[in-house]
């Protein structure tokens, strides 16, 4: 098992800075997930860890040994690519053993390692098939098997499930989690799918525009987002974000329009009247409440099975509600909504979370 | 104003349209199809015509005037004697073996050297990569006649004149071959190579075990082009070769026209015999010209 340290790692492509002075400590045996929108630098960061991409600045350490200038083949990493990257002219068995054969391992050793990977990933039935004869899920299992036989110190996954359909993605997610439990290796996983990030990660690293926005456990990332970007990126439907200026009217309120205002009863003490703030509330923290003054005009209803999503407007703000029980309304109608005051997230004028330690 | 109860125009199911486009049948008027085939046959005749005429001349007997007017396409008394006479008049088999040896060497060298040179140009980063490629490509614009004299001087200086090696070396690695292989390598997904690199596979092994097997169509194309070029080359063998025992087929066939006072029946028969290997090589390489060689490599 190996720990990874990134110290001021930077990557510049021409005039574009893809990764900006990134510091990160990945503990030994940890499953860490890089998540962020397209072009945020998550894959570039992973490729720099793998050695496939050279860092423009900073250093990458494995177990406190500087690996920045070490080629990919000497780092003890194995990588699983989004597009499988299986050799199309070789059978699954030849794909699994290719790296070992090329690096001079004995036949017995190759057979032992391939046999173990085949057993763990249940590849027996299609060892003699070529990639074109395998389904997407089978291809990705072979690709993971190819990483497994290398017995790497670190597993790197670059959006490995993005090409699979929803059902397969779910089952492969479970398999990867089981693999981590069984092997205990350090795993770094890149995805833009927040569900994958939330379900697989010990810790999530949220990236945006080449910078780390937040590092934390899935619970921390979701329930204590450090800024508006993280709050909005994590969660589907997206968090409701209501910007405005706090007012004192026998208590602190956030006016949304002339008729509606949100009581900020549990606001942190740092929030004062006259402050420009944004208040966030997760769609699932909102429910129907006939006595509430908060009124939403419902534009669209989306059934997802377990949950029903309601999209509409509160005043001039877009608003979303997610309910497992359903709300008594139809598109075009208005409904009164309520929420617990302590479920609100507070952000200052710069979009940074206002610490909730000291409640009013 | 349009009435509400006016029936909507019936739409053809999209699959039917697709099927018709794909298989060219169904709704296309018969005249249009005939016209299309007539045009295709006309183009085919333009290409096949000279070969057919060559074959016809080779099969005409000595009593038949091959220059009669109007021209007679079909031989009056078809005969294969001219083919036999070619073997009697010349050491044809020896020329054939010489040509085959030189062509095999040139094709092998081309496939190896061109793909070796193309790999770094396609996949590695190094200073001056693009200028080097540009210079290589530029040499394609130089006609062989321009290079012939300096090449001959070099060959003589190296003692390579009158040798198969001297005959083959100018064909051993071509700018066209490097260009063709570079373009083929560029189409192979980067991840395949990166995956091998992470596994600790050396660049040379990646080239041999990953890049080359996935470039079979390009290799086959290069093999055919090189073979056709070397097999039919007349000028360079004429310049470099004096020893008749080392003559290649084009030089040998050329001797036919001189030795028999330009008996075009024999020249045609010799030409027919000499193009058979070219056709054979093309037919053999054809199976590699299949699309989808990378099927299943990557998704997306």
Note the pLDDT tens digit of each residue in A61-105: 999 999 999 999 999 999 999 888 999 999 999 999 999 999 999
With CA atoms as reference, the chain B residue closest to A85 would be B192
pLDDT for residue B258: 64
User: Most confidently modeled of A207-216, A252-261, A347-356, B88-97?
Assistant: A207-216
pLDDT reading at B294 higher than 80 = no
Interface of A with B (CB under 8 A): 50-52, 71-74, 77-79, 81-89, 98-99, 102-103, 130-134, 136, 139, 146, 150, 163
Mean residue pLDDT of chain B comes to 84
Residue B204 contacts A where some CB pair is shorter than 8 Å: no
In this prediction, residues B50-70 reach a mean pLDDT of 86
Residues in chain B within 8 Å Cβ distance of A89 = 213-214
pLDDT reading at A166 higher than 90 = no
pLDDT reading at B271 higher than 60 = yes
Residues in chain A within 8 Å Cβ distance of B210 = 87
Cβ A261 vs Cβ A255: under 8 Å: yes
Q: Of A262, A237, A260, which Cα lies nearest the Cα of A341?
A: A262
- Smallest Cβ–Cβ distance between B199 and the set A131, A133, A150 belongs to A150
Q: Return the number of CB contacts < 8 Å for A and B.
A: 92
Cβ separation A85–B205 shorter than 8 A: no
In this prediction, residues A215-231 reach a mean pLDDT of 96
In this prediction, residues B123-139 reach a mean pLDDT of 93
pLDDT reading at B23 higher than 50 = no
Give the Å distances, CA to CA, from A130 to A88, A94, A124, B218.
6, 9, 13, 22
**For B90-286, CATH number?**
1.10.3720.10
Q: Of B210, B192, B199, B189, which Cα lies nearest the Cα of A147?
A: B199
Side-chain half-sphere exposure of B269, counting CA atoms within 13 A = 26
With CA atoms as reference, the chain B residue closest to A82 would be B299
Cβ separation B214–A88 shorter than 8 A: yes
- Smallest Cβ–Cβ distance between A131 and the set B191, B205, B296 belongs to B296
Confidence band for B78, pLDDT divided at 50, 70 and 90: confident
pLDDT reading at B19 higher than 90 = no
Mean residue pLDDT of chain A comes to 92
Backbone angles phi, psi at B30, to 5 degrees: -60, -35
pLDDT for residue B61: 84
pLDDT reading at A50 higher than 50 = yes
Q: Which residue of B190, B213, B299 to mutate against A (max A Cβ within 10 Å)?
A: B299
Percent of chain A past pLDDT 90, that is, above it, reads 74
Residues in chain A within 8 Å Cβ distance of B197 = 52, 71-73
- Smallest Cβ–Cβ distance between B197 and the set A52, A82, A146 belongs to A52
With CA atoms as reference, the chain A residue closest to B191 would be A85
What's the pLDDT tens digit per position in A270-320? 998 999 999 999 999 999 988 888 899 999 999 988 899 999 999 889 999
Residue ranges with strand state E in chain B: none
Residue B298 contacts A where some CB pair is shorter than 8 Å: yes
Compute the Cα dihedral for A286, A292, A295, A298 and give only its sign: positive
Can you give the residue ranges of every domain in chain B? 28-79, 90-286
d(CA A228, CA A353): 7
Cβ separation B297–A88 shorter than 8 A: yes
What's the pLDDT tens digit per position in A129-163? 999 999 988 999 999 999 999 999 999 999 999 88
The two tokens of residue A74 are: 């000497």
Cβ separation A79–B198 shorter than 8 A: yes
Cβ separation A98–B214 shorter than 8 A: no
Confidence band for A210, pLDDT divided at 50, 70 and 90: very high
Cis status of the peptide bond prior to B70, with omega within 30 of 0: yes
What's the pLDDT tens digit per position in B141-174? 998 889 899 999 999 999 998 999 999 999 999 9
The CATH architecture of the domain made up of A244-347 is Beta Barrel (2.40)
pLDDT for residue B259: 53
Cβ separation B198–A86 shorter than 8 A: no
Cβ separation A89–B196 shorter than 8 A: no
pLDDT for residue A259: 79
Confidence band for B13, pLDDT divided at 50, 70 and 90: very low
Cβ separation B209–A98 shorter than 8 A: yes
Which residues, including other chains, have CB under 8 Å from residue B7's CB and lie 6 or more apart?
A: none
Q: Of A294, A320, A317, which Cα lies nearest the Cα of A308?
A: A320
Neighbours of A136 (CB within 10 A): 16
Chain B: give the shortest CA distance to residue A336, in Å.
41
Chain A: give the shortest CA distance to residue B272, in Å.
38
pLDDT reading at A360 higher than 70 = no
Return residue ranges of chain A for CATH 2.40.50.140. 244-347
pLDDT reading at A106 higher than 90 = yes
Residues in chain B within 8 Å Cβ distance of A146 = 195, 199
Cβ B274 vs Cβ B249: under 8 Å: yes
What is the CATH superfamily name and number for domain A4-232?
P-loop containing nucleotide triphosphate hydrolases (3.40.50.300)
pLDDT reading at B28 higher than 80 = no
pTM of structure: 0.80
Q: Of A281, A268, A277, which Cα lies nearest the Cα of A344?
A: A281
Q: Which residue of B200, B207, B293 to mutate against A (max A Cβ within 10 Å)?
A: B200
With CA atoms as reference, the chain B residue closest to A129 would be B296
Chain A: give the shortest CA distance to residue B226, in Å.
26
pLDDT for residue B252: 85
In this prediction, residues B243-267 reach a mean pLDDT of 80
d(CA A267, CA A246): 10
Q: Which secondary structure element, helix H or strand E, spans residue B118, and what is its range?
A: helix B92-123
pLDDT for residue B45: 93
In this prediction, residues B222-231 reach a mean pLDDT of 92
């Amino acid at each position: 098992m190996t720990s990874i340290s990134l110290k001021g790692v930077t990557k510049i492509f021409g005039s574009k800075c893809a990764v900006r002075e990134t510091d990160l400590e990945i503990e030994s045996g940890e499953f860490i997930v890089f998540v962020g929108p397209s072009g945020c630098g998550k894959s570039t960061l992973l490729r720099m860890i793998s050695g496939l991409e050279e860092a423009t600045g900073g250093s990458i350490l494995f177990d406190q040994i500087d690996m920045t200038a070490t080629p990919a083949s000497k780092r003890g990493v194995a990588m699983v690519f989004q597009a499988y990257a299986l050799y199309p002219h070789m059978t699954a068995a030849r794909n699994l053993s290719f790296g070992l054969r090329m690096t001079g391992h004995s036949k017995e050793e190759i057979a032992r390692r391939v046999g173990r990977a085949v057993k763990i990933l249940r590849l027996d039935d299609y060892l003699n098939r070529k990639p074109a004869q395998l389904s997407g899920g089978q291809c990705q299992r072979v690709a993971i098997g190819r990483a497994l036989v290398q017995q790497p110190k670190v597993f790197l996954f670059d959006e490995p499930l993005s090409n699979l359909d929803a059902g397969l993605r779910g089952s492969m997610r479970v398999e990867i989690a089981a693999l981590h439990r069984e092997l205990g290796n350090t795993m770094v996983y890149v995805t833009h799918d927040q569900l994958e990030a939330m379900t697989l990660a010990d810790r999530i690293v949220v990236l945006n525009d080449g910078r780390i926005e937040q590092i934390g456990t899935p619970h921390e990332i979701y329930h204590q987002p450090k800024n508006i970007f993280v709050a909005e990126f994590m969660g589907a439907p997206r968090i409701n974000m209501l910007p405005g200026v706090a007012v004192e009217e026998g208590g602190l309120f956030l006016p949304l329009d002339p008729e509606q205002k949100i009581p900020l009863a549990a606001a942190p003490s740092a929030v004062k009247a006259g402050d420009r703030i944004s208040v966030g509330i997760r769609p699932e923290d909102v429910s129907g409440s006939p006595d509430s003054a908060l009124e939403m005009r419902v534009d669209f209803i989306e059934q997802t099975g377990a949950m029903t999503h309601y999209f509409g407007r509160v005043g001039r703000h877009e608003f979303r509600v997610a309910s497992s029980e359903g709300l008594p309304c139809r598109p075009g109608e208005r409904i009164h909504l309520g929420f617990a005051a302590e479920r609100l997230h507070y952000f200052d004028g710069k979009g940074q979370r206002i610490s909730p330690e000291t409640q009013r | 104003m349009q009435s509400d109860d006016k029936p909507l125009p019936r739409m053809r199911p999209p699959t039917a349209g697709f099927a018709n486009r794909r298989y060219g049948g169904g709704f296309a008027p018969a005249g249009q199809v005939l016209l299309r085939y007539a045009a295709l046959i006309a183009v085919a005749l333009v290409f096949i015509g000279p070969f057919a005429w060559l074959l016809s001349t080779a099969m005409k007997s000595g009593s038949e005037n091959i220059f009669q007017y109007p021209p007679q396409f079909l031989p009056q008394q078809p005969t294969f004697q001219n083919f036999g006479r070619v073997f009697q008049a010349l050491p044809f088999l020896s020329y054939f073996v010489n040509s085959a040896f030189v062509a095999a060497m040139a094709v092998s060298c081309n496939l190896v050297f061109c793909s070796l040179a193309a790999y770094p140009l396609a996949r590695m980063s190094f200073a001056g990569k693009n200028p080097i490629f540009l210079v290589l490509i530029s040499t394609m614009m130089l006609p062989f006649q321009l290079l012939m004299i300096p090449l001959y001087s070099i060959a003589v200086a190296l003692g390579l004149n009158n040798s198969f090696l001297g005959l083959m070396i100018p064909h051993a690695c071509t700018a066209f071959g490097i260009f063709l292989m570079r373009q083929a390598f560029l189409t192979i997904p980067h991840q395949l190579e990166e995956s091998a690199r992470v596994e600790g596979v050396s660049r040379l092994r990646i080239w041999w075990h990953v890049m080359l097997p996935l470039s079979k169509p390009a290799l086959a194309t290069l093999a055919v082009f090189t073979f056709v070029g070397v097999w039919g080359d007349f000028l360079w063998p004429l310049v470099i070769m004096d020893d008749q025992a080392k003559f290649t087929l084009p030089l040998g066939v050329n001797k036919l026209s001189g030795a028999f006072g330009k008996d075009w029946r024999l020249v045609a028969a010799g030409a027919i015999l000499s193009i058979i290997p070219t056709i054979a090589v093309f037919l053999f390489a054809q199976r590699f010209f299949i699309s989808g060689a990378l099927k299943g490599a990557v998704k997306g």
